[in-house]
A and B are shown apart, each in its own frame.
Chain A
Amino acid sequence: MEPYKKHESIAALMNRSNVDTDQIIPKQFLKKVERSGFGVHLFHDWRYNDDGTNNTEFELNKPAFKGAKILVAGDNFGCGSSREHAPWAIADYGFNTIISTSYADIFYNNCFKNGILAIKVTKDLLDKLMAEISASEGVRFVVDLENQQVITPAGNGFTFDIDPFRKGNLLSGLDDIGLTLKHVDKIDEYEKRHKQTFPWLWA
């Protein structure tokens, strides 16, 4: 995983709530056995017309949002299935930051495993950020994870909370499994106790 660095990028707006994982990456693209190449299918059913051409009505197809790394979206983003193909598609498309009021649990976890910073803000603040993007599409925000800060040209900047463990992993780009395996002695010990306490699970 690439370490997450401070950046200034276009913020794209998706003013919809309950955007589900079936929209983020429709099921026909879940059959691959690789992790890469999902970006072209991101939001497929909204993004493309039946004949395969771009749907110009779809917000992310707006020229002003081209190259955006920040996605500002409505409540409960990423609800639905556990498919990690959703954050794979989002990251592969080029986003590394999402700003919303709330996320579905599994999706939220999956984001951080793939170098995506999912920031939670209040409804009030989200409305302001959405208004700022609407008023000047193509506007660029600065995201500074180290200082847990977002800066916007119209002064809607804010600081955000994030779990220190998740923050550390994003900044270092470290592998979660490697971190856990530092505790392998404790896992061994636990397993020894587990075998004594729950022998029927090991029969």
Chain B
Amino acid sequence: MKALVYTMKKTMYEKIWDNHLVVDEPGQAPLIYVDRHLMHEVTSPQAFEGLKLSGRKVRNPHSILATMDHCVPTKNRNLPIADPIAKKQIETMAENCRVNGLVLYDMTNPNNGVIHVVVPEHGFVHPGMVVVCGDSHTATHGAFGALAFGIGTSEVEHVMATQTLPQKKSKTMLVQIDGKLSKYSSAKDIALAIIGKIGTAGGTGYVIEYAGEAIRELSMEGRMTLCNMAIEAGARAGLVAPDEKTYEYLKGREFAPHGKNWDLALAYWKSLPSDEGAVFDSVIKLDAADIAPQVSWGTSPEQVVGVDSTVPAPGSFDDEIKRKACEGALAYMGLTPNTKITDIPIDLVFIGSCTNGRIEDFRIAAEVTKGTHVAKGVTAIAVPGSYHVKQQAEEEGLDKIFIDAGWEWRDPGCSMCLAMNGDELTKGQRSASTSNRNFEGRQGKGGRTHLVSPAMAAAAAVAGHFVDIRTL
């Protein structure tokens, strides 16, 4: 019996799960331990209120890192926030963090930025951790081989009070991407291509592990982009096994282990990757070489095609629900079937967000932008994911490239990804956006969003319509 247990092959998810089980008794949901809890201003106030009303305290204040990102202005930060309700939410966050002794990177802090950009910058998440945040894009941190997932506000309160969460064990899905990406296809295109293949509910009930040559080749930033959108495939979380790139990225960062602890941690991290021969409940395979730069055409991230393709016709879907969804999306998006993607004109370009607001994203966009100018009638805004990204970009002179080309160079925040802070599309306006959701009204009521990579967004800004970046 002992030998049997000893030889059992485990996936990385199962290893992390087993290491975090606090209570597993029949008749109730397993209770798992939470190592890190990330916070922002939108999904936390009601949790703090609940905690206070029930007379409970934050169990482990050191496990929490908080920022302000959703409601913050990305320009004229020196002025008071104009929206009184947003202002109150920001003030409430500051007060809650003060009272409970939590680390907060507020709007004026040089570490401020979008939570999922800031957290890795400081080495706050490590391989093998369980990480939660009242935000679905918490999946980002799976890039480090951490089990990271979004939770609701009641669960935020639960974690603050108990450091645990009742959880149902997920099924496991292996997404294997072999081969090499072409030069201008990126992690974003892999993410969109996967969602195009399996749908926005394709990953429901699963934790996805991304593997294969193309994933190994991705930088840490690229892996964050990929895992970030695991939620758009419906998955609980996305994971990439840690490797030398992961360790190299973490080493020396503020909250990374130091000295003797580094060696202890490293030995543990190296034990995490899925065992050879471990069995996944589902396996999906794609060849990286087949992944063209992607452009979403509809109002769900699964409504996506390669840039060299055309807007589909409702009749091209066999499934009645998909056909109906296509009709609705085309009406909302103001698109005609069979239009070439490269013939779709755009009004606004947004580069930023927790999906594509990191230094590498601005580097590739600047490479495309250098020596060009934004097309007539197009507004282009670049919103770094954090002040550190902004500073790094400025040290490399990227800000000048954007500004010279007619772009706006902003302060960090979620900005137009969800348009809570006043940066938004007007009715009928069409964007090329590096964010993660193209839902109706996501970027402003009546606004039309096309999801793309940073390189594709930059190219669209110059041309005023989508272009196949590979042909430039």
Binding site for B on A (CB under 8 A): 16-18, 20, 22-23, 26-28, 30-35, 45, 74-76, 79-84, 87, 102-106, 109-110, 113-114, 163-165, 175-177, 179-181, 183-184, 186-187, 190-191, 194, 198-201, 203
Contacting pair B257 A187 (CB below 8 A): no
Most interface-central of B200, B201, B445 (chain A CB within 10 A): B201
Which single residue of chain A is at the shortest CB-CB distance from B266? A200
CA distance A17 to B199 in the complex (A): 12
Contacting pair A199 B162 (CB below 8 A): no
Complex interface: chain A residues within 8 A of B158 (CB) = 176-177, 180
CA distance A200 to B300 in the complex (A): 41
In the complex, 25 of the A-B residue pairs with CB atoms within 8 angstroms, ordered by the A residue number, are A16-B328, A20-B437, A22-B442, A23-B440, A23-B441, A27-B418, A31-B42, A33-B46, A33-B88, A33-B92, A34-B46, A75-B201, A76-B201, A76-B234, A87-B152, A106-B136, A106-B150, A106-B151, A110-B154, A165-B29, A177-B158, A177-B162, A186-B31, A199-B261, A201-B126
Complex interface: chain A residues within 8 A of B92 (CB) = 33
CA distance A81 to B200 in the complex (A): 12
Known: A22-B437, A22-B441, A104-B204. A30 touches B42 (CB 8 A): yes
Contacting pair A194 B440 (CB below 8 A): no
Near A by CB (< 8 A), chain B positions 50-105 give: 54, 56, 70-71, 83, 85-86, 88-89, 92
Shortest B77–chain A CB gap in Å is 18
Complex interface: chain A residues within 8 A of B268 (CB) = 198
Contacting pair B325 A18 (CB below 8 A): yes
CA distance A45 to B445 in the complex (A): 7
Which single residue of chain A is at the shortest CB-CB distance from B62? A202
Shortest 9 CB-CB distances between A and B: which pairs? A200-B257, A200-B261, A33-B45, A113-B154, A84-B152, A82-B150, A110-B152, A76-B201, A84-B153
CA distance A165 to B165 in the complex (A): 14
Known: A33-B88, A180-B158. A105 touches B43 (CB 8 A): no
Contacting pair B85 A176 (CB below 8 A): no
Which single residue of chain B is at the shortest CB-CB distance from A30? B42
User: Is B264 at the interface (CB under 8 A from chain A)?
Assistant: yes
Contacting pair B42 A83 (CB below 8 A): yes
Interface segment out of the listed B20-28, B306-314, B387-395: B20-28
Contacting pair A203 B154 (CB below 8 A): no
Known: A18-B300, A33-B49, A203-B258. A165 touches B321 (CB 8 A): no
| B123-141 Cβ-contact flags toward A at 8 Å (1 or 0) | 0001001000011101000
Contacting pair A203 B257 (CB below 8 A): yes
Contacting pair B23 A81 (CB below 8 A): no
CA distance A184 to B162 in the complex (A): 8
Complex interface: chain B residues within 8 A of A184 (CB) = 162
Contacting pair B265 A200 (CB below 8 A): yes
Contacting pair A81 B162 (CB below 8 A): no
Which single residue of chain B is at the shortest CB-CB distance from A45? B441
Known: A30-B42, A31-B89, A203-B258. 14 other contacts (CB 8 A): A17-B324, A20-B437, A31-B42, A33-B92, A34-B46, A76-B234, A82-B150, A102-B204, A105-B236, A165-B166, A187-B22, A187-B31, A191-B163, A200-B265
Complex interface: chain A residues within 8 A of B262 (CB) = 200
| B25-43 Cβ-contact flags toward A at 8 Å (1 or 0) | 0011101010100000011
Binding site for A on B (CB under 8 A): 22-23, 27-29, 31, 33, 35, 42-43, 45-46, 49, 54, 56, 70-71, 83, 85-86, 88-89, 92, 126, 129, 134-136, 138, 149-155, 157-158, 161-164, 166, 168, 200-201, 204-205, 234, 236, 257-258, 261-262, 264-265, 268, 300, 321, 324-325, 328, 418-420, 437, 439-442, 445
CA distance A34 to B50 in the complex (A): 10
Contacting pair A22 B200 (CB below 8 A): no
CA distance A75 to B200 in the complex (A): 11
CA distance A163 to B445 in the complex (A): 38
CA distance A110 to B437 in the complex (A): 20
Complex interface: chain B residues within 8 A of A33 (CB) = 45-46, 49, 88-89, 92
Q: Which residue in B164, B419, B437, B440 is a CB contact (below 8 Å) of A187?
A: B164
Contacting pair A190 B418 (CB below 8 A): no
Contacting pair A163 B442 (CB below 8 A): no
Which single residue of chain B is at the shortest CB-CB distance from A114? B154
Contacting pair B31 A180 (CB below 8 A): yes
Complex interface: chain A residues within 8 A of B31 (CB) = 180, 183, 186-187
Contacting pair A26 B163 (CB below 8 A): no
Complex interface: chain B residues within 8 A of A200 (CB) = 126, 257, 261-262, 264-265
CA distance A163 to B205 in the complex (A): 14
CA distance A161 to B29 in the complex (A): 16
Contacting pair B154 A74 (CB below 8 A): no
